[in-house]
Structure 1
Amino acid sequence: GDTSEPLKAPEFRDEQLNANDDNKNKKKRKRKEVKDLRFAMEEDKTNSQLKKKERKKK
C-alpha cells in the first residue's frame, strides 16, 4: 500500500480488504455466470440443429 498514508486501525484496513475481495469475487462469479449462460445457449443451438438433422433423415 501507500506508506505516506497515516496508518489506519487494523480492523478498518481488514474491512477494506474484505470489501475489495467481495467485489473481485462478485465480478468473477458474474463472469462465470455469463460464460455458463453462453455455453448453455450454444448447447441449445447444437441440440436443436441435431434434432433437425435427425428429423430430415426419417
Structure 2
Amino acid sequence: MAREGERSERGGERGDRGRGRRDRNEDREQSEIVDKLVAINRVAKVVKGGKNFAFAALVVVGDQ
C-alpha cells in the first residue's frame, strides 16, 4: 500500500480525472478537419438485471 503523499503503481491519484482535457472551441478554430454526424442508433441489450442501453454513432471525418 502506498504511503500518504505517494502514488501507487496502479492508478495514481483519483483527483486527476480532468487532466488532459482541452478547450473544444480552441480545437475547432485551428482545425481544418470537418466532422459530420450521419446517424445515431439506440441499442438495447437484454441482460439478467434488465436492459442495458447504449448508443452507436456513425460519424464521417475528413478535410475538404
Q: Tell me the TM-score normalised to structure 2 length.
A: 0.21
Q: Please tell me whether Structure 1 or Structure 2 has the larger radius of gyration of its CA atoms.
A: 1
Structure with bigger helix share is 1
| Bigger RCO of structures 1 and 2 (CA < 8 A, at least 6 apart) | 2
Q: Tell me the TM-score normalised to structure 1 length.
A: 0.21
Structure with bigger strand share is 2
